[in-house]
């Protein structure tokens, strides 16, 4: 078993915070261990909780369809979330939940994968790397953080709710193609 698989097993059995009490499945994330691109969302939604896989609902479908326009497929990237269990009622994850899960699991996943590009999806994910940044101001603008390239995108669920954000999401993904080439 690889170290990344070991982390996934620990996530599946995690009881470090109260989010474990309401979950159907923890969602460790998925993708090849050789992935050079890592996508990090906020937390599992209802479909993700049921299936135990990240971004399998409507927002995930939209995100993957948009990524496909630049030649990226689900099997090419590693997809995960800040918190690995669905917050009750789909509420925002609490700061202590984000901190616990990120320090215990996400940071280790990043270290093991060593991705060339981390794509943050939404404000919570961006906030983990660039705490004072506003996603509405910096989406689509690459950030260098700790020697890593962070590429902030609007959350695909938000993009589905607002037509202007949908277009911005698609434009930002199109710009991502140039970053990948370089």
**Quick one: DSSP state of residue 30?**
B
pLDDT tens digits for range 57-88: 999 999 999 999 999 999 999 999 999 999 99
Angle separating helix axes 163-181 and 58-68, nearest 10 degrees: 40
* Rounded Cα distance, 66 and 82, in Å: 22
Question: What are the chain's domains?
Answer: 3-181 (3.40.470.10)
pLDDT value at residue 15: 96
Question: Contact 87/27 with Cβ under 8 angstroms?
Answer: no
- In SS3 terms, 51-110 reads as HCCCCCCHHHHHHHHHHHCCCCCHHHCEEEECCCCCCHHHCCCCHHHHHHHHHHHHHHHH
pLDDT tens digits for range 22-65: 999 999 999 999 999 999 999 999 999 999 999 999 999 999 99
Does position 182 have pLDDT exceeding 90, yes or no?
A: no
* Rounded Cα distance, 73 and 121, in Å: 16
Q: Model-level pTM greater than 0.85? A: yes
pLDDT tens digits for range 105-156: 999 999 999 999 999 999 999 999 999 999 999 999 999 999 999 999 999 9
Tokens of 180: 């990948």
Taking 3-state DSSP, the helix, strand and coil percentages for the chain, each rounded to the nearest 5, stand at 50, 15, 35
């Amino acid at each position: 078993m690889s170290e990344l698989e070991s982390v996934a097993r620990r996530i599946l059995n995690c009881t470090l915070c109260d989010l474990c009490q309401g979950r159907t499945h923890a969602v460790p994330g998925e993708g090849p261990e050789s992935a050079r691109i890592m996508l990090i969302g906020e937390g599992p939604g209802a479909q993700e909780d049921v299936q135990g896989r990240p971004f399998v609902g409507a927002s995930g479908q939209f995100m993957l369809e948009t990524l496909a326009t630049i030649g990226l497929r689900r099997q090419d990237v590693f997809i995960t979330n800040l918190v690995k269990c669905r917050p009750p009622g789909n509420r925002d994850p609490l700061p202590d939940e984000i901190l616990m899960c990120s320090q215990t699991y996400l940071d280790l996943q990043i270290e093991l994968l060593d991705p060339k590009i981390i794509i943050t999806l939404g404000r919570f994910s961006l906030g983990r790397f660039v705490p004072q940044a506003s996603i509405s101001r910096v989406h689509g603008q690459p950030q260098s953080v700790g020697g890593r390239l962070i590429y902030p995108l609007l959350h695909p669920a938000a993009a589905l709710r607002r037509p202007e954000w949908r277009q911005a999401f698609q434009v930002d993904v199109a710009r991502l193609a140039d970053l990948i080439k370089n």
